[in-house]
């Protein structure tokens, strides 16, 4: 199919996926993926609530974009501002909910706070943009892959996608809706030319190219926003410096020896010690398990067959492992 035909088909599939995954509210970051969902929902005549989280006193670049999108598509916009202390106090709850001490927890924290506010507002279901980055090459580390490698990588991860929003939703009693994970969207994403996912224009590489092209008329500048982690867009990334300042270099080295674990950074250690308190010990792989599974080289938890990312500690094998093992 030509690019215009691909865009048209993608719009049809997303319209169907959003219709099938109707929710009471949208978790709106102001980035490409959730802004598209806002536009599609508006097209279908479904006026909903939107939730956006930002750290008080931070730049939080997502905030202004989210405001523009909510206003343009007539969403009832709930802005949730949290302080540094409030964010730190919530971290144990997040770790308990996801059962992980992954260094990416500041991202999960944003989702948790949004879903908790949804619960407080009596909202029973929330739509998220989960899956778009994985299926349409949104992450910068994908952009240097050849078309063949990118295709193999996406096919592999499409079989093992797992999102913290599902665990957080279950924990809080809020249903999570994920239109990008609809079977029609997944199959379509796996079938299209990888060259429509990553393109270089005037020296800049764009992931999710076909998503951008399909919705540039509705979204304007938002369609061409660079991909940013949730923690950066919301401002919660500043928690990393705050946490790191609580642990000296000497303590970090001592704790690594004590726990016999090679933590990725000081935040990783901080999250691990909370994990031990609110979850318990890491479930180690037994000798019997090792016959059919791999073992995480960092925390020694079980890694199920064909899984290259540990959902407990956040360890991940290099991208080449995913490509080599693709079937």
Please check whether the domain covering 3-234 is classified as CATH 3.40.50.620: yes
- Token pair of 174 as six digits: 């809020």
**What is the predicted pLDDT for the residue at 320?**
83
For residue 160, name the pLDDT band (cuts at 50, 70, 90). Answer: confident
For residue 307, name the pLDDT band (cuts at 50, 70, 90). Answer: confident
Distance, CA of 134 to CA of 51 (rounded, Å): 23
Distance, CA of 174 to CA of 125 (rounded, Å): 5
Q: How much is the average pLDDT of 81-104? A: 96
Distance, CA of 144 to CA of 122 (rounded, Å): 44
When mean pLDDT is compared across 72-86, 271-285, 296-310, the lowest value belongs to: 296-310
Q: How much is the average pLDDT of 32-59? A: 86
Q: How much is the average pLDDT of 136-161? A: 93
The whole-model pTM stands at: 0.93
**What is the predicted pLDDT for the residue at 227?**
87
**Phi/psi at 54 (5° precision):** -145, 150
Is 265 in contact with 82 (CB distance < 8 Å)? no
> What tens digit of pLDDT does each residue of 56-84 get?
888 888 999 999 999 999 999 999 999 99
Burial class (CB in 10 A: 0-12, 13-18, 19+), 161: middle
Residue that wins the pLDDT comparison between 157 and 278: 278
Task: Calculate ∠ Cα 318-319-323, nearest 5°.
Answer: 125
Scan for tokens 């928690």, then name that residue: 239
Checking if the pLDDT of 43 tops 90, the result is: no
Burial class (CB in 10 A: 0-12, 13-18, 19+), 261: middle
- Highest mean pLDDT out of 30-44, 106-120, 294-308: 106-120
**What is the predicted pLDDT for the residue at 292?**
52
Would you call 27 helix, strand, or coil by DSSP?
Answer: strand
Q: How much is the average pLDDT of 287-295? A: 61
Is 163 in contact with 212 (CB distance < 8 Å)? no
Is 34 in contact with 129 (CB distance < 8 Å)? yes
Strand 125-127 relative to strand 49-55, pairing: unpaired
Radius of gyration of the chain (CA): 20
Checking if the pLDDT of 324 tops 90, the result is: no
> What tens digit of pLDDT does each residue of 107-142 get?
999 999 999 999 999 999 999 999 999 999 999 999
End-to-end CA distance of the chain: 25
Mean pLDDT over each residue of the chain, to the nearest integer: 92
Distance, CA of 154 to CA of 134 (rounded, Å): 7
Is 84 in contact with 239 (CB distance < 8 Å)? yes
In which residue ranges of the chain is CATH 3.40.50.620 found?
A: 3-234
What burial letters (b/e) apply to 2-13, b meaning 16+ CB within 10 Å?
eeeebbebbbeb
- Token pair of 171 as six digits: 């924990």
- Token pair of 137 as six digits: 């090459």
77 DSSP β-pair partners: 50
Checking if the pLDDT of 290 tops 60, the result is: no
Checking if the pLDDT of 293 tops 70, the result is: no
- For 275, the enclosing helix (H) or strand (E) is helix 266-278
**What is the predicted pLDDT for the residue at 323?**
78
Would you call 127 helix, strand, or coil by DSSP?
Answer: strand
- Token pair of 204 as six digits: 């800049």
- DSSP assignment string, 281-323: S--BPPHHHHTTSEE-TTT-BEE-TT--B-TTT--B--HHHHH
**What is the predicted pLDDT for the residue at 23?**
94
> What tens digit of pLDDT does each residue of 192-204 get?
999 999 999 888 9
Checking if the pLDDT of 326 tops 80, the result is: no
Q: How much is the average pLDDT of 249-255? A: 97
**What is the predicted pLDDT for the residue at 91?**
98
Checking if the pLDDT of 244 tops 90, the result is: yes
């Amino acid at each position: 199919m030509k690019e215009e035909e691909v865009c048209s088909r993608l719009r049809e599939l997303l319209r169907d996926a959003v219709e099938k995954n109707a929710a009471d509210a949208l978790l709106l970051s102001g980035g490409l993926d959730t802004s598209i969902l806002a536009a599609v929902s508006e097209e279908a005549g479904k006026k909903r609530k939107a939730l956006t989280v930002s750290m008080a006193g931070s730049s939080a670049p997502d905030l202004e974009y989210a405001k523009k999108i909510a206003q343009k598509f007539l969403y009832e916009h709930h802005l949730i501002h949290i302080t540094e202390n409030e964010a730190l106090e919530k971290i144990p709850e997040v770790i308990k909910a996801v059962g992980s001490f992954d260094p990416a927890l500041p991202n999960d924290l944003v989702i948790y706070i949004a879903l908790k506010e949804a619960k407080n507002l009596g909202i029973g279901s929330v739509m998220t943009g989960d899956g778009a980055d994985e299926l349409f090459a949104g992450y910068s580390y994908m952009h240097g892959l050849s078309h063949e490698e990118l295709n193999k990588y996406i096919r592999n991860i499409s079989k093992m996608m797992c999102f913290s929003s599902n665990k957080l939703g279950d924990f809080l009693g809020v249903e999570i809706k994920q239109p990008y994970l609809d079977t029609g969207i997944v199959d379509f994403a796996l079938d299209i030319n990888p060259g429509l996912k990553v393109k270089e224009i005037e020296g800049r590489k764009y992931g999710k190219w076909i998503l951008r092209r399909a919705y540039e008329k509705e979204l304007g500048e938002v369609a061409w926003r660079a991909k940013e982690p949730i923690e950066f867009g919301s401002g919660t990334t500043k928690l990393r410096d705050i946490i790191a300042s609580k642990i000296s270099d000497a303590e970090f080295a001592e704790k690594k020896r004590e726990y016999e674990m090679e933590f990725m950074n000081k935040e990783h250690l901080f999250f691990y010690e909370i994990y031990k308190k609110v979850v318990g010990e890491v479930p180690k792989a037994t000798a019997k398990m090792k016959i059919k599974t791999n073992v995480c080289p960092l925390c020694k938890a079980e890694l199920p067959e064909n899984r290259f990312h540990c959902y407990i500690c956040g360890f991940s094998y290099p991208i080449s492992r995913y490509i080599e093992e693709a079937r």
